[in-house]
Amino acid sequence: MGVAYKLECDSCRYESNMFVGIGFAYCSLESIASFVEDAELKQRMLTFMKDSSTQYNAYDAVYVCPQCGGLQNELYIEMSSDSAQYKHTYNCKRCGTAMHEIQIEHNGPVDVVGCPDCRDGKLTATFYMDWD
Ligand SMILES: [Zn+2]
Ligand SMILES: [Zn+2]
């Protein structure tokens, strides 16, 4: 089961809902591939699915841009088999920089440089709901 957090800035009106964790749809690569929109990622998943030695790790995660502070809620996915290994990466939709994953804790400050909008404010995460 996953958890949804509401991120809020303490100095401007920025707020967004972020979903993190594992939903029921993540029980198989087939099921994940059915909602992945990125054609290249989908193709890689299909290749891994044909290999019986494939193992994977997938969950919803929050990514931050080190350049502009942009935040994105994306699918974390990593797959490995006896012959291949793949980890999907994301680039910031605002500036194109490679993003990195951050962890969000219950009702804690969010470990980012600053608010994506005003840059000066600090973001706080509040528990919003469980989802699956
Ligand atoms: Zn702000
Ligand atoms: Zn950026």
pLDDT digit string, tens, across residues 47-85? 999 999 999 999 999 999 999 999 999 999 999 999 999
Measured distance CA(80)–CA(93) in Å, rounded: 27
How remote is the CA of residue 108 from the centroid of ligand 1, in Å? 16
Cβ atoms of 6 and 115 closer than 8 Å: no
Closest ligand relative to 13 C-alpha: 1
pLDDT over 90 for what percent of the chain?
Answer: 75
How remote is the CA of residue 5 from the centroid of ligand 2, in Å? 21
Measured distance CA(119)–CA(37) in Å, rounded: 30
How remote is the CA of residue 89 from the centroid of ligand 1, in Å? 26
Cβ atoms of 91 and 99 closer than 8 Å: yes
- pLDDT exceeds cutoff 80 at 106: no
